[in-house]
Amino acid sequence: MLGPLFRPLATLGLAPQLLAERKSFGNAVGVVLFHRPRGEPPFESGRHFHRLWLEIEAAGFGANVLAALADNPSIATRVSRDHGIDDSRRLVSAFRFGRRTGTGFAPARLPVGELIVS
């Protein structure tokens, strides 16, 4: 993630803070492995991925993306095999999810009345 910056930051003793995920992972109750047809264009897969993420959030859950599971081909192959994802499908990404403990995020969309300017 930080590439060449990680080693100097680790030397300064900052690695534990950079890698700490307890806060975002502490309330996780599950993992979603998001897969799509292998031949599907990446843009289309991305559209479905973001719609699912919005649906998870709208249902009152929080989700953190675990892209590393799909970004590394050998790991993606192993995860897919271990969890019964057919060879005709491609692991696009994964989420860990759980109930939000706070109020969540304010909606990003403006009310219709604020969109139309006369």
Contacts 24+ apart (CB under 8 A), 106-115: none
Return the closest-CA partner of residue 90 out of 35, 47, 48: 35
CB atoms within 10 A of CB 63: 21
The domain spans of the chain are 43-100
Q: Which of 69, 32, 27, 23 is nearest to 51 (CA)?
A: 32
Q: Give pTM, 2 decimals.
A: 0.67
pLDDT value of residue 50: 93
Q: pLDDT per residue over 57-70, tens digit each?
A: 888 888 888 888 89
With bands split at pLDDT 50, 70 and 90, how would you rate the model's confidence at 110? confident
